[in-house]
Amino acid sequence: MGEHRLCKPGVRGSNPLDSTKLQGAKVVRAEAITLEDMEKRVQRFSIPNRADEIAYGEACLNGMFSAFPMISVGDKDAACRAFVKKLTHNYGKRGQGVKETENEKQRRLYIERQHRVGKLAEFVAYRTLKDVFVKLTPPDLRIYQSKQKSFDWDMKCKPYNFAVKGCDHAGQWPISWMFQHRDSEGYGCDTHIFKRTPTANEYVVFVVMDMENLTGRIAALVPLEVMLDADVFEPPISKSLINYKVVIYWDTLIAKKLAPTQSKRIKWIVDAVGEKNGKEG
C-alpha cells in the first residue's frame, strides 16, 4: 500500500455557520440530492444553509446509497447511557468538592452524547452483521482507565475485524465520522487504523444514527486498505480538534464511490445481509 495523506487541502475547516454564507442560501431537499451534488460539494465545499445539512442528514439516514436496513437499538440505550456516565466520570474526574462550571457541564453533556451515539452505532453495526459473521463479538461495555483506553477493533470474527464509527444525522456538523490519528495528552489514537499495514479482511463501518427514535443504519462499509488509499481524510471543522483528529465526510465517500451500492468489494456482505432480511420479512 502506498503512502496516504491524512488531510487534503480545502476549506472545510472554516466555520460552517458563518453568517456571511447564509444570505440568499438555497435550501436542498433530501429527495433532490444527486451524485452530481455530492461531487460538487467535494470539489468546492461550503455550507450555505443549515437546512442543507438537515436534508443531507435525512438522505443518509433514509438509506441513500446504502442498501443496509434500518436497525432499532432502543433496548440498548439504558446500558449505553450507564456506560457513558461511567466513562466520562472515569476520564474527567475532578477534585472532591470542586463545583462544575456551566461551560464544563455543557462540554461534558456534549461528550456524553457523542460517546452514546458511538456506542449505539456499534449495536447497529453488530445487529446488521451478526447473522453474516456468526461469531461476531458484541460491543464492549467495559470501562478502561484514562490512559489505557482501548483503540482495538470494535468487533471481531476471525479473520475479519471491524472498526465502527457513528454520527448523529441531526448533529451540528455535516454528516461525517471522526478518527483520532494522533495521540492527545497520552490518551492514544486509532492505532489499528493508522499505525500498521492493513489486511484484506479489515473494514470500517460508518453508521448514521437517528437519536430521537434510537434507530440507525450502516451508511457505508469500506475495506480499510481501500479507505486509506482513497484520499478521503479531511481536517475537522472545529479548529480545536485539528491537531489530532481527521474526518471523513459522507459526500466524500459517495463521490469516491465507496458507498455500499457503489462498491464491488463489499457486494457479498450487502447481498448476505439482504438475503437474511428477506427471509425474516
**Other CB atoms within 10 Å distance of the CB of residue 177:** 23
What's the one-letter identity of residue 149? K
Short-list 142, 233, 253, CA closest to 180: 233
CA 20 to chain centre: 29
pLDDT in tens, the chain (281 residues): 444 445 544 444 433 333 233 233 345 667 677 777 777 766 545 544 667 778 888 889 999 999 999 999 999 999 999 999 887 665 554 444 457 787 877 888 888 888 999 999 999 999 999 999 999 999 998 877 655 555 679 999 999 999 999 999 987 778 899 998 766 554 457 777 887 788 899 999 999 999 999 999 999 999 999 999 998 888 887 777 777 788 999 988 998 999 999 999 999 999 999 987 765 54
Cβ–Cβ < 8 Å for 235, 88: no
- What is the C-alpha separation between 177 and 127, in angstroms, rounded? 20
Distances (CA, A) of 158 to 116, 123, 135, 208, 210: 27, 19, 8, 26, 30
pLDDT for 56 equals: 84
Q: Where are the domains of the chain?
A: 19-280
Short-list 8, 70, 90, 81, CA closest to 45: 8
